[in-house]
Amino acid sequence: MFPQLPIRLALLALISLPLTACDTQTMTDLRRNIGLDQPEPEPEEPAKPRAPAVSPLVQPIETGAPGKPIPTAEPLTYRATSFVARGNEPFWNVEIAGNTATYRTPENQSGRKISVNRLVFDRGVEYVGVLNDRPFVVNMTATECQDTMADQKYPLTARLTVSGKTQQGCASVGQPAEAAAETTTDAPAAAG
């Protein structure tokens, strides 16, 4: 009688195993149907930064939700390539055309030309160069500026950093060199 006992136990175990599997599947289905056992959502991969399709100098980089892009470049300064920035107490003036800035002070009214690089950012534009082995930076933001000495408003607020000192001022989009040349050429013809 003892030799048959292990065989009976093995058969009993084999018969109950499929029933247990069916019971587990039935309970899982029942739980899902009443909302107790929801499958866990797949973890989403965080969005990886990707390079822009075009240069930010050609088209402003946009952020935001799909369908609601937010341009990161300020429209007033984005397409302009020439600016005039000025400050008083102490007086300074910087005219920027392309990649050249002309820096003027009362001591040097003819000005000094400085090669600069343009950086566009979300609220304006910045030009960076080197003067006397130190950073030369003209930063312009699209915030209205009031010149108290001239009692005039300008569309841009300027900040000039030269020789380690920062000075505040106002700025505006400049007239392109070609348009300025045409204006001076046309003026005598109109007078005559």
For the residues of 25-80, what is the DSSP string, one character each?
HHHHHHHHHHTSSPPPPPPPPPPPP---SS-TTTS--EESSTT--EESS-HHHHS-
Taking the CA atoms of residue 89, residue 114, residue 154 and residue 152 in that order, the dihedral angle to the nearest 10 degrees is: 40
Q: How many CB atoms lie within 10 A of CB 162?
A: 20
* pTM tops 0.75: no
Q: What is the pLDDT of residue 189?
A: 41
Q: How far apart are CA 132 and CA 136, in angstroms?
A: 9
Q: How far apart are CA 159 and CA 139, in angstroms?
A: 5
Handedness of CA 4, 9, 10, 12 (dihedral sign): positive
Q: What is the pLDDT of residue 96?
A: 95
Q: How far apart are CA 156 and CA 164, in angstroms?
A: 22
Residues of the chain with confidence (pLDDT) below 70: 1-6, 9-27, 30-31, 33-43, 45-73, 175-192
